[in-house]
Amino acid sequence: MLLPYCARLRSSGVRIVLASTSPRRRDLMALLLPAIGAAAGASAAGSAGESVGVPFACVPSNFAEDLPHSAHASAASYAQATCAAKAAEVWSRVADRADVLIAADTVVVRDGVILEKPQCQ
């Protein structure tokens, strides 16, 4: 939990980027860094999180997310590789204005077959 570090992060001016515009990921950020609320309707360039806590920007990845499933021994490995590629793509655009980048990926697996991201909640 990042709660003990919120005051230090806020006062230090650390620039945090969430490599996503997913409302669910913004909700997770709110759990990790209390009092964070992300701005609705992010643009392709990214949006700022409106916060009385630790501010952050939401920047969507432009990575195609088309890694071959067969190149990975597990769904977890596939998700980790996709996450790393998304993070690298976003970092290449924001490194000059960010200190911390948070990225994630989600896949659905059924009977050992990767089905990619869920299409609805």
φ, ψ of residue 82 in degrees (nearest 5): -65, -45
Write out pLDDT tens, residues 27-52: 888 777 664 333 333 333 445 544 44
CA 95 – CA 87 distance, rounded (Å):
11
State the CATH class of domain 3-116.
Answer: alpha beta
Q: At residue 66, does pLDDT exceed 90? A: no
**pLDDT reported for residue 95:** 93
pTM: 0.71
Contacts of 35 (CB under 8 A, 6+ apart): 6, 51, 52, 53
Confidence band for 119, pLDDT divided at 50, 70 and 90: low
Q: Residue 89: pLDDT above 90? A: yes
Q: Which of 119, 104, 98 is nearest to 13 (CA)?
A: 98
Task: Give the model's pLDDT for residue 103.
Answer: 92
